Amino acid sequence: MFDKILIANRGEIACRVIRTCRRLGIATVAVYSQADADAQHVRLADEAWPIGGPRPAESYLRGDAILEVALKSGAQAIHPGYGFLSENADFADAVEAAGLAFIGPRAASMRKMGSKAGAKELMQAAGVPVVPGYTGEDQSPDVLQREADAIGYPLMIKAAHGGGGKGMRIVRNSAEFGANLESCQREARNAFGRDRVLLERYVERPRHIEIQVFGDSHGHAIHLNERECSAQRRYQKVLEESPSPFLTAQLRDAMGAAAVMAARAIDYINAGTVEFIVGQDGDFYFMEINTRLQVEHPVTEFVTGLDLVEWQLRVAAGEALPLAQDQIAQQGHAIEVRLYAEDPDAGFLPGSGRLERLRLPATDAHVRIDSGVIEGDTVTIFYDPMIAKLIVHDSDRPAALARLRAALAQCDIAGPKSNIEFLERLVRHPAVVEGRIDTGYLDRHLDEFVQPGSDAGNDDTGQDLLLAAATAQLLAQERSSLERAGVSADPSSPWAIADGWRLGHGSRRSLAFLQGERRLELHAQGSNGSYRIEHADRIHTVEGARSEAGDALSLRIDGRGRRFTLAMDAASADMPRDGGGQRIVVHDGGRRLRLQAVPMYRPERSSAVGTGNRLLAPMPGRVVLVKAAPGDEVEAGQELMVIEAMKMELSLKAPRAGTVAEVRAAIGDFVEADAVLVALAS
């Protein structure tokens, strides 16, 4: 076994590898970019070395710099994690040439899978089922159009080199093919440096099921059963679980055998994942082999009781696989979701910024957290905005779903927006609960999962959450007033105490909150946990309200006892003069309400944009396409520019019809958030 390894990655996966190495007594070397100098993987490793600027091309994609650190530090092997250089065959070769071990497959195996077209042809020759399509060398638009028409619609255009959902388009008729081809090729060029595509028949309502495989240098190859990843948005996995609720025992055995056959076809060594698309009739087709550890590997670890990173290390050190196929266990059910800094209500726009608050459930035998950040860290614009992976395990699927709901209820993130509420809706949705979700369901029914903040007070549950938030605010105001009174010149003065005596305070107090862009106003009378609260022309009684242990609130609403979890900013409950307010989050175990307390009375402010004459960058990013020039006449909603940020392409559209006066960014420019990109004539 190795004494010291270098981890050529960052964030969550680097921290994950460090944990196993520490348990095995292996020293770890981290590398970091300028943006990651204070990152958790840097703090957790035994030593850490800088390798360049904040952008991946300046640091984590610099194989030469990483190898130099490995040799200087005395590392014996390099673990690439996932992403960055993990599937770069040239880097794997360079590691071996430097006399180090690459903790992953051989470069030759990677190259066989580096092209989706070549991989498909290889698998077909090996007897692994593949989807009908075109993988030819001729990439002229006319030939591709002709082949697409011959395959039939719907079909999928896929970048031949790449993964992660990039460079993929569904085309439903011949007329749409040309525009989708152009968009797919452009995205592939930007993401992978090559624009070759392949065409495949699109399987309607497919399931995405992948098989974890492992091979060693002694000729052994086995699988560790499946993970289902059918809950996807724009080809990005949202929820992963094992075992699949869709597979029968017979289908599981057939897919496992096909996966091992695929691994043997490329002489596979170390951890890999064979991905299949599965039709509603149970027919399955090879998609690709990911020649690395997967983000969702903890799901397999929970149900098998194995440490896959330890297996990776042992295989890379020349050991045989620890277990044979018939020794692989499958116990209980595991589910993983990913907490991201993103705004589902704004098209899942990635976010960035300091994590002012990060509360995650305690870990135990049923709950696991894999994260690369802690409270106070910054989610940077330069990398994937994942905050943490939340993985749960229980005896069966219903118990695991219940465990996941409870764990999500304990999560609270402040700073950048997050997808917690989206995930909470997801794990309660009938399509997920009943195990019938397919890969396109989320995109077809996104409105069922994304509900912009407008439902507080519209039903009994929403009303109770709002009343609980108002009560928490009233109690906090009273505590604040008593604290001020205690340090005043005359603590007993009625002017210093917020109770029923003070005119306009305990006798009648008005509260205002923002739920997203929606303003909510309530009026209350009473004090000390007993109130009459008016909202939307209805009056409710609140009695016996009490905050407990700082994170719970119990009370009676109109005679019904209720209990909520509560998260409030530590700042004073009184409203600051600048209009910024305290954040309040209440949760009843099934639903969450997030509010910002704001002043009841405030002057109207003019909009920062106002005239609608300017197109602004919604977040920092790089311009990849400019479709406007000064003097152009444009329509409202017309695409004027495309920027790439956090591994996504964002289409920026004209705010109104008019004439373009200025274009202030060119292809390749890096722009900051709120920068004016296009100005329209007044």
Residues designated catalytic: 292
Strand bridging mode 648-653 / 412-414? unpaired
The torsion angles phi and psi of 10, rounded to 5 degrees, stand at -145, 180
Measuring CA to CA, which residue among 275, 277, 221 is closest to residue 113? Answer: 275
What is the CB neighbour count within 10 angstroms for residue 239?
Answer: 22
Residue identified by tokens 């307010």 is: 581
**Close Cβ partners of 249 (under 8 Å, ≥ 6 residues apart):** none
**Close Cβ partners of 383 (under 8 Å, ≥ 6 residues apart):** 10, 11, 35, 56, 646
What is the CB neighbour count within 10 angstroms for residue 449?
Answer: 23
Residue identified by tokens 């296009």 is: 678
Interhelix angle for 11-24 vs 308-316, to 10°?
Answer: 70
Please state, in angstroms and rounded to a whole number, the distance separating the CA atoms of residues 313 and 323.
Answer: 15
Q: Report whether the peptide linkage leading into residue 154 is cis, meaning its omega lies within 30 degrees of zero.
A: yes
**Close Cβ partners of 562 (under 8 Å, ≥ 6 residues apart):** 464, 468, 554, 555, 556, 588
The torsion angles phi and psi of 568, rounded to 5 degrees, stand at -135, 145
Please state, in angstroms and rounded to a whole number, the distance separating the CA atoms of residues 280 and 291.
Answer: 27
**Residues 105-119, buried b or exposed e (16+ Cβ, 10 A)?**
bbbebbbbbbbbbbb
Distances (CA, A) of 402 to 160, 302, 334, 366, 425: 40, 16, 12, 11, 13
CA angle 97, 100, 103 (to 5 degrees): 110
* Helices of type H across 487-510: none
3-class SS of residue 654: coil
Please state, in angstroms and rounded to a whole number, the distance separating the CA atoms of residues 140 and 155.
Answer: 18
| Residue 389 near residue 371, CB atoms below 8 Å | yes
What is the CB neighbour count within 10 angstroms for residue 139?
Answer: 14
Measuring CA to CA, which residue among 599, 600, 595 is closest to residue 566? Answer: 595
